[in-house]
Amino acid sequence: MFQKNLIATFMLLAIMIVATACDGDNPETKETVAHAPVDKTDNQQKKMPEAETDHIRLPEEHLQKTDQGQAVKTLQKALNKVGYSIDRNGTYDDVTTWAITDFQLQQQALIATGVYNESTRRSLQKILDENQAIKAGAVLDQPDNKPDTVDNPHDILALVNKENRLPSDFVPRNLTVPDVRFPFEDFLPKKQMRKVAAKAMEDMFQAANSAGLELFAQSGYRSYERQDAIFASNVRKNGEEAANKFSARPGESEHQTGLTMDVTSPDVNYRLIKEFGQTDEGKWIKQHAAEYGFIIRYPEGKDAITEYQYEPWHLRYVGKKAATTIMEQGITLEEYLGEA
């Protein structure tokens, strides 16, 4: 009996020792474990901030100044993401045009126009996908809305007139001589246009040739200094008030943009006169210029708005979208931009 009690006592002591060992952790260690934060990211991916994870799909449509809508707002959001602090107001305004132009000027493969097109979309999408940033305003200063000043001369819809002057030191990029007919052989600076306008001019001349017409290009790009000399000459001949009805002061001439070409034909002996509008070439220009992105900048009966006489020979490149609206509605660039 005594032996059985002794065995039972030993078994009870063994059980107590084992229980004590299993529950014998340091109290400080127990407290630390009990209050340690639980890392919930072990089995799931960390959620990135919205700005980093939000993938922007750029609009595929052609967008430019005066356009409005969700596509413009998406574009503005993308410009925000790459470094441009502009409002997402859904309106393709001067500031949005500036941002696109500045971006284009920083990309070697792009031509600066201020217009969001397919090539600009591809370049901007690449910057977004690679999570790169742009130094906003590195090439073109943000518009400061100074009166009488063209803030963005690279914009193909830049309004140049007697109230909006180009900087005296502005020289267009990508000047080239279009492959069209001129009534003179020698190279002169006035043969040049900006590349985007020169290509459109070539296409228009080819179409006119196919129609059996004889268009000639007479005068394109003029520097600030050249326009100064021309205006001074006209003032000496006609007086300042009369001269300014058909000749621009320096800085006020569209020819300095590189987007303008005066055209003519043999029927008017290659002159730049109103009668050109009555020639077959002049009539064809009025009907078809917009198909190639050109407008008759100073149309008949609009001198109160443009402040220049009717010039059927003076063609300004604004792109097909704007040109179609302007020519179909019979309005001026001032009216199209709401600046009449």
Q: How far is CA 283 from CA 84, 280, 298, 319, 322, in A?
A: 45, 5, 15, 20, 20
* Res. 52: pLDDT tops 70: no
* Helical spans, DSSP H, in 175-223: 195-210
* Res. 4: pLDDT tops 80: no
3-state SS, residue 179 = coil
- For the chain, the 3-state helix, strand and coil shares in percent, each to the nearest 5, are 45, 10, 45
- Tokens standing for 166? 């180009």
pLDDT tens digits, residue range 255-294? Answer: 999 999 999 999 999 999 999 999 999 999 999 999 999 9
How far apart are the C-alpha atoms of 245 and 41, rounded to whole Å?
74
pLDDT on residue 247: 87
* Res. 27: pLDDT tops 50: no
- Topology of the domain comprising 59-129: Muramoyl-pentapeptide Carboxypeptidase; domain 1 (1.10.101)
Range scoring the smallest mean pLDDT among 49-63, 108-122, 314-328: 49-63
| Residue 83 amino acid letter | G
* Res. 162: pLDDT tops 90: yes
Percent of the chain at pLDDT > 70 equals: 84
pLDDT tens digits, residue range 98-132? Answer: 999 999 999 999 999 999 999 999 999 999 999 99
Buried b (16+ CB within 10 A) or exposed e, 130-154: eeeebebeeebebeeeeeeebbbbb
Is CATH 3.30.1380.10 the classification given to domain 175-336?
A: yes
Q: Return all residues near 17 (Cβ < 8 A) that are at least 6 apart.
A: none
pLDDT on residue 22: 42
pLDDT tens digits, residue range 233-246? Answer: 999 999 988 888 88
Q: Where in the chain is the domain with CATH 1.10.101.10?
A: 59-129
How far apart are the C-alpha atoms of 3 and 300, rounded to whole Å?
131
When mean pLDDT is compared over 14-28, 83-97, 133-147, the highest value belongs to: 83-97
Query: How many of the other CB atoms lie within 10 Å of CB of 240?
Result: 13
pLDDT on residue 2: 42
* Res. 221: pLDDT tops 80: yes
Q: Which among 132, 43, 123 is positioned nearest to 83, based on CA atoms?
A: 132
Nearest-5° Cα angle at 158, 155 to 163: 150
* Res. 309: pLDDT tops 80: yes
Q: Which among 329, 339, 287, 340 is positioned nearest to 312, based on CA atoms?
A: 287
pLDDT on residue 23: 46
How far apart are the C-alpha atoms of 329 and 236, rounded to whole Å?
38
Q: Where in the chain is the domain with CATH 3.30.1380.10?
A: 175-336
